[in-house]
Amino acid sequence: MRIALASDHAAVALKALLVEHVQSLGHEAIDLGPFSADSVDYPDFGYKLGQAIADGSADKGIALCGSGIGISIAVNRNPACRCALVSEPLSAKLSREHNDANVIAMGARLTGQDMAKECVTVFLATAFGGDRHARRVDKLSHPQLSKEPA
């Protein structure tokens, strides 16, 4: 798989570590930047990652910033993306199984390096569960399918 990674300045070091980790798992890593710890705006890189998913240049993505929150919001502005903020392997697994997430976000100031690597490993190895989850995921991309509870 082609995995795009993007961050802000707070997560450059974690991104570099995860680029190597993605490659060690046998995937192609596409580093969308930034490439230094100079201050940048996380939305710029979140949008760049979202576009890579939308245009098909990446199959999945990993978004990183200080908390993971801001960049996840930016990625999710692209309708082609389902970005889940994760902090441990179970949330990474469930994001794939239940929500067919195609991007995960993590906070470099909140998630340790080993935990982040494990989240990536699980995320990339887990398939979408389909079945009852498919209807719900369809509604994420097509809000008009949603019905008000009776």
Q: Is 98 a catalytic residue?
A: yes
Q: DSSP secondary-structure letter at 87?
A: S
Check 9, 21, 27, 65 and give the catalytic one.
65
CB 92 within 8 A of CB 37: no
SS3 state of residue 77: coil
**Marked catalytic residue, from 9, 27, 83, 98:** 98
Sign (positive or negative) of CA dihedral 63, 69, 72, 73: negative
Catalytic residues: 65, 98
